[in-house]
Amino acid sequence: MDYMVSEPRHSYSYDFYNDSLKLNTLKMKNIGNGSKFNCTVPLETPEKIVYPEFSKPSTSRAINDTTILIAEDEPINFRFLEILLRGKAKKIDHAINGKVAVEMVATNKYDLILMDMRMPVMSGYEATKIIKLKCPDIKIIAQTIYSLPEERNRILELGCDDFISKPITRAALLEVINKVL
């Protein structure tokens, strides 16, 4: 890919071409003084996204009958998990930290909790201990960026039923949920 540069006063503009077709433009202004970058990229999105189904048939209750609590402090991560589970679960609730997750479990019935292990106020580690003491039958899947064997062992010793490493894919998430339910 080639680019052409024009240099007006205190700004740069890069136009990217592929076979003489302009693909996008990158503009930079006030270089060195809090630079601002604008980039235009052509994007085509499919009309319909098709997701794969479970890789194995469920040997227990179908996920469609489950009520899931997602304990996740990052709104974008919650939204991502919610999208991955869209149309699969009966109900999905959100707890913004471990303390809220413990409170929600005390007042609602959940079949499954997707627990982020590193959250403010109360971590997923602390919340899992408390929830498993009060409701040992609730299935908890730990979600974390750490995938070292020591971390996995620590999480399973706390009482989590399984573990999934970030970044999470839909296939991996559905597989671990299917395994736990």
What's the rounded Cα separation, in Å, for the pair 163 and 158?
Answer: 12
Better-scored residue on pLDDT, 161 or 52: 161
What's the rounded Cα separation, in Å, for the pair 123 and 37?
Answer: 37
Better-scored residue on pLDDT, 167 or 33: 167
Q: Tens digits of per-residue pLDDT, 63-120?
A: 788 999 999 999 999 999 999 998 889 999 999 999 999 999 999 999 999 999 999 9
Query: How confident is the prediction for the chain on average, in pLDDT?
Result: 77
Instruction: Report percent pLDDT > 70 for the chain.
Output: 66
Domain extents in the chain? 2-40, 63-180
Right CATH number for 63-180 from 3.40.50.720, 2.120.10.80, 3.40.50.410, 3.40.50.2300?
3.40.50.2300
What's the rounded Cα separation, in Å, for the pair 156 and 153?
Answer: 5
The reported pTM is: 0.66
Q: Is 56 helix (H, G, I), strand (E, B) or coil?
A: coil
pLDDT, residue 72, reads 95
Better-scored residue on pLDDT, 114 or 145: 114
3 pLDDT tier (thresholds 50, 70, 90): very low
What's the rounded Cα separation, in Å, for the pair 81 and 12?
Answer: 39
List all residues 6 or more positions away from 63 whose beta carbon is below 8 Å from its beta carbon: 54, 85, 88, 89, 174, 177, 178, 181
What's the rounded Cα separation, in Å, for the pair 110 and 68?
Answer: 6
pLDDT, residue 26, reads 54
